[in-house]
Chain A
């Protein structure tokens, strides 16, 4: 059971603690700084925070236990080889060999102490084997010819936002890319493949809609105890895989909308997943101004619309892809919004309490 929630926001990192049955803000760090991502490493109790200072670029800080924060190394691209042809974005501008934002940060497996994975905009995947003291660009992915086809989704530049480490085998890694689909490595990142079938990109010409490398999975999550089950909240729908991404099934009905950014899967019940829907891409606000969470318990065949404790009138909160999380028991979930509201449930979404209001725009929520 998790009694602590970390909330990454546009203006700092907030910690909430559960006391006497309610959730209260118990700490603030990096107040006024843009926290694009955070990770509480369950293997060694180290906290990592990625800051986007705008003018001064991306920085990474870490804290071990009750120790002090220290700046550690930032995932940095190597010097671009002289004469290397530029990759270009859809406007013909060069894709920079420079970290623009840390968009994913995950711990390696329990058998890989100190190993971290970091996904970035503009699409570089980095690996650290020393708790973030140094980082190495995963060249096998960066140099992959298909990587050059990635385009921005939401941001001008492509980005890696999801990293799933298979609980059965830490060398089996899957990443989600906007826009570049879901990629898999079976050998710890030495080789990569993007070959899943069935994912559909409604925003592409008909003959390209099923190209795996053109998909925009907003978020990819993996069931802890049934890792062959993956869920994806995609730009134009919800997808489920029963074979670790080899094939995807599209879910076309899910309560008020299949559009959204976030998804959470129960750690031991692969058929149970949660989404926070919104009107699709041209509006990106809750349907009818009502904030709801949708839940399926049967693998997406049916959905319940959960609204007990959530605002049901003139509410326009949007929930970003990293801003919904579930705890290790599968009973507690929390999500935060662009409007700075944070909700928590302790009964799998049957009822919600508002744990914080008036926070800065929320980018990420994590139980620890």
Chain B
């Protein structure tokens, strides 16, 4: 096992943590997007897992190149995600990920 407290994914050989992904209520007007618990090492993996059963929702959050949409913002454990393109910010155990509208979008 790796020297971390998170579960080990032998397939990808990286550490995954359990986290909850929650979506802005305003998104629910367009598409059902309930909170979902995922195992992920990065925000990218968390969203991939969240959208695995809800493919249509993906395009509401990510753009054509799978980057975070211009006027969306993601907080993880209270901090705004820094890598909006690759979504490489790490996920820690019991992480709380909020996918929200940015006020820049009005």
Taking a contact as CB atoms under 8 Å apart, the answer to whether A55 and B102 are in contact is yes
Chain B residue nearest to A79 in the complex (CB): B65
Name which residue of chain B comes closest to A99, CB basis: B64
Q: Which residues of A contact B72 (CB under 8 A)?
A: 55-56
Question: Mind listing 19 A-B residue pairs with CB under 8 Å?
Answer: A53-B60, A54-B71, A54-B105, A55-B26, A55-B71, A55-B72, A55-B101, A55-B102, A55-B105, A56-B60, A56-B61, A56-B69, A57-B60, A57-B69, A59-B30, A76-B59, A76-B64, A77-B64, A96-B65
CA distance A338 to B102 in the complex (A): 27
Residues in B whose Cβ lies below 8 Å from that of A79: 65-66
Q: A71-B56, A76-B59 are in contact. Are A56 and B30 (CB under 8 A)?
A: yes
Residues of chain B lying within 8 A (CB to CB) of residue A97:
64-65
Contact A57 B105 (CB under 8 A): no
Across the two chains, which residue of chain A brings its CB closest to B102?
A55
The verdict on B63 contacting chain A, using a C-beta distance below 8 Å, is yes
Known contacts A54-B106, A55-B101; A80 and B60 CB within 8 A of each other: no
The answer to whether the Cβ of B27 comes within 8 Å of any Cβ in the partner chain is yes
CA distance A362 to B57 in the complex (A): 29
Q: Whose C-beta in chain A lies nearest to the C-beta of B56? A: A71
Q: Which of B55-86 contact A (CB under 8 A)?
A: 56, 59-61, 63-66, 69, 71-72
A74, B69: Cα distance in complex, Å: 15
- Per the 8 Å Cβ criterion, residues 34-58 of A in contact with B are 53-57
- Residue A185 at the chain B interface, CB threshold 8 Å: no
Distance of A77 Cα from B27 Cα, bound (Å): 23
Docked complex Cα distance between A106 and B105 (Å): 29
Q: Give Cα A296 to B44, complex, Å.
A: 58
Question: What is the minimal beta-carbon distance from B87 to any residue of chain A, in angstroms?
Answer: 15
- Chain A residues, CB < 8 A from B71: 54-55
Q: List the 3 shortest-distance A-B pairs measured between CB atoms, nearest first.
A: A98-B64, A56-B60, A77-B64
Known: A74-B59, A76-B59. A53 touches B64 (CB 8 A): no
CA distance A84 to B92 in the complex (A): 34
| Alpha-carbon distance between A54 and B26 when the two chains are bound, in angstroms | 12
CA distance A53 to B61 in the complex (A): 11
In the complex, which residues of chain A have a beta carbon less than 8 angstroms from the beta carbon of B101?
55
Q: Which residue of B lies closest to A78 (CB)?
A: B64
**CA–CA, A278 and B12, complex, Å:** 62
Q: Name the CB-closest residue of B to A58.
A: B59
Given A56-B60, A77-B65, A78-B64, 7 new contacts (CB under 8 A)? A55-B102, A56-B27, A56-B61, A59-B59, A79-B66, A98-B64, A98-B65
Q: Inside 8 A of B60's CB, which chain A residues have their CB? A: 53, 56-57, 59
Interfacial chain A residues near B61, Cβ < 8 Å = 56
A83 to chain B, nearest CB (A): 14
Question: Which residues of chain A are near B66, meaning CB under 8 Å?
Answer: 79
Closest to A75 in B: B64
B59's partner among A54, A57, A80, A96 (CB-CB below 8 A) is A57
Contacts A71-B56, A76-B59; is A55 near B64 (CB within 8 Å)?
Answer: no
Q: Which residues of the other chain, B, contact A76 by a CB distance below 8 angstroms?
A: 59, 64
Contact B69 A55 (CB under 8 A): yes
> Is the Cβ of A98 less than 8 Å from the Cβ of B106?
no
Closest to A77 in B: B64
CA distance A71 to B66 in the complex (A): 20
The CA-CA distance from A80 to B27 in the complex, in Å, is 27
Interface string of A68-101 (1 = CB under 8 A from B): 0001001011111000000000000000111100
CB distance from A51 to the nearest CB of B (A): 9
Question: In the assembled complex, how far is the CB of residue A120 from the closest CB belonging to chain B, in whole angstroms?
Answer: 10
Most chain-A CB neighbours within 10 Å: which of B26, B66, B69, B72?
A: B69
Q: Which residue of A lies closest to B60 (CB)?
A: A56
Closest A-chain residue to B30, C-beta based? A56
Return chain A residues, CB-CB under 8 Å to B102: 55
Minimum C-beta distance from B69 to chain A (A): 6
Contacts of A99 in B (CB 8 A): 64
**Nearest CB of chain A from residue B71's CB, rounded to whole Å:** 5
Q: Which residue of B lies closest to A54 (CB)?
A: B105
Considering only CB atoms, which chain B residue lies closest to A57 in the complex? B69
Q: Tell me the bound Cα distance from A54 to B101 in angstroms.
A: 10
User: B37-68 interface mask toward A, CB cutoff 8 Å, 1 = contact, 0 = none?
Assistant: 00000000000000000001001110111100
Q: How far is the CA of A74 from the CA of B63 in the complex (A)?
A: 11
Q: Determine the chain A residues whose CB is within 8 A of the CB of B59 once the complex forms.
A: 57, 59, 74, 76
